[in-house]
């Protein structure tokens, strides 16, 4: 099954799933949507001025519009141990076990002496369902920029990315995978090292289940925000246009490229980059399932003429 056809599958499956009885601990769409109303995650600001050439039969004039910048919740990124058990209930059927991806879990019990054993996580990147609610909320601040995500549309399902996600082929031999200190979540010198971004697969050595899930979520975010990667995925990128500057590549530890809002096992009203500086938020999941909203930075301005002349300010 191709990722292009998954949108149609989601549309067919969702109405049935919405009526399924959800366990009290399950992450549901109803719980996800209100989390977009976070002023700190959105970080709305006026960042400059755009200039437009507006022409009529009577002549031309230069008009201006405010250039705004803010973050948009593009996707929900779920990282979980048991294949087919995405913590986001309504989309769980999209990542059901397949012939090549039917097992999961970790060989550790969160004990320090077992840190030499590998952890495996499935990861799904699916369009955030709160786009309409976010646009309504953000419009109260002014003009709103569109994001790249589309509600319920998958950008990556690790069960379909078997060769790369389960076997690390070919990224296990990439320089980024073989060079210590290159592309890592955290810093060895400050004892905040959570794991390496490469190889971008579901396996890593990390005794802390939360940190392991965060690293694999970062890996998936790294894949979907780039073109031409050796994975089965659909890029989560928008094309720039006059007066519109979409988010670029996600980089670990760089909040100006994207930030994370925890959704499961607990919901956070704020966003941060991994590694987080607030250990109190790192609640361990009982079933190995975690989810975050991935917020990405965009800037734009309202069109005030036929020709875009340029802008001041950056975001």
Phi, psi for residue 247 in degrees, rounded to 5: -65, 150
**DSSP collapsed to 3 states, 186-240:** CCCCCCCCCEECCCCCCEECCCCHHHHHHHHHHHHHHHHCCCCCCCCCCCCCCCC
Contacts of 130 (CB under 8 A, 6+ apart): 32, 33, 34, 35, 36, 73, 151
DSSP letter at 313? -
Model confidence pLDDT, tens digit, residues 37-50: 999 999 999 999 99
- pLDDT recorded at residue 51: 98
Supply 181's token pair. Answer: 């200190």
Is the separation of the CB atoms in 309 and 62 below 8 Å? Answer: yes
CA distance 71 to 257: 10
Contacts of 312 (CB under 8 A, 6+ apart): 48, 49, 67
Q: pTM for the whole thing? A: 0.88
- Residue 72 pairs in a beta bridge with 296
- pLDDT recorded at residue 19: 34
- Residue 76 pairs in a beta bridge with 126, 293
Model confidence pLDDT, tens digit, residues 144-175: 999 999 999 999 999 999 999 999 999 999 99
Strands (E), the chain: 45-56, 59-80, 119-120, 122-127, 154-157, 184-185, 195-196, 203-204, 244-245, 259-264, 289-301, 307-312
The distance of Cα 81 from the centroid of its chain, to the nearest Å, equals 18
- pLDDT recorded at residue 3: 47
- Residue 17 pairs in a beta bridge with none
| Element containing residue 8 per DSSP (H, E) | helix 6-17
Stretches in the chain below the pLDDT threshold 70 = 1-25, 103-116, 277-281
- pLDDT recorded at residue 130: 97
Contacts of 311 (CB under 8 A, 6+ apart): 48, 49, 50, 51, 67, 243, 301
């Amino acid at each position: 099954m191709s990722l292009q056809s998954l949108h149609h599958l989601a549309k067919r499956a969702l109405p049935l799933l919405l009526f399924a009885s959800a366990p009290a601990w399950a992450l549901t769409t109803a719980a996800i949507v209100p989390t977009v109303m976070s002023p700190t995650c959105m970080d709305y600001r006026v960042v400059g001025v755009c200039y437009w050439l507006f022409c009529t039969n009577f002549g031309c004039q230069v008009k201006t519009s405010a250039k705004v910048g803010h973050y948009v919740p593009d996707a929900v990124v779920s990282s979980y141990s048991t294949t087919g058990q995405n913590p986001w209930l309504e989309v769980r059927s999209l990542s059901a076990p397949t012939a090549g991806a039917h097992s999961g879990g970790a060989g550790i019990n969160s004990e320090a002496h077992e840190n030499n054993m590998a952890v495996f996580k499935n990861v799904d990147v699916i369009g955030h369902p709160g786009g309409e609610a976010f646009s309504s909320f953000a419009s109260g601040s002014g003009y709103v920029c569109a994001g790249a995500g589309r509600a319920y549309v998958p950008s990556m399902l690790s069960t379909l990315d078997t060769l790369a996600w389960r076997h690390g082929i070919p990224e296990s031999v990439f320089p980024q995978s073989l060079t210590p200190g290159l592309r890592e979540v955290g810093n060895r010198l400050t004892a905040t090292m959570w794991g390496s971004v490469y190889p971008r697969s579901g396996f890593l050595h990390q005794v802390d289940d939360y940190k392991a899930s965060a690293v694999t979520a970062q890996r998936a975010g790294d894949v979907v925000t780039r073109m031409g990667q050796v994975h089965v995925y659909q890029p989560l990128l928008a094309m720039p246009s006059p007066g519109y500057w979409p988010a670029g590549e996600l980089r670990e530890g760089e909040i100006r490229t994207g930030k994370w809002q925890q959704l499961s096992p607990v919901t956070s009203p704020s966003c941060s980059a991994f590694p987080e500086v607030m250990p109190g938020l790192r609640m361990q999941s009982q079933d190995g399932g975690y989810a975050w909203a991935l917020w990405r930075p965009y800037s734009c301005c309202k069109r005030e003429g036929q020709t875009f002349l340029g802008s001041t300010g950056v975001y």
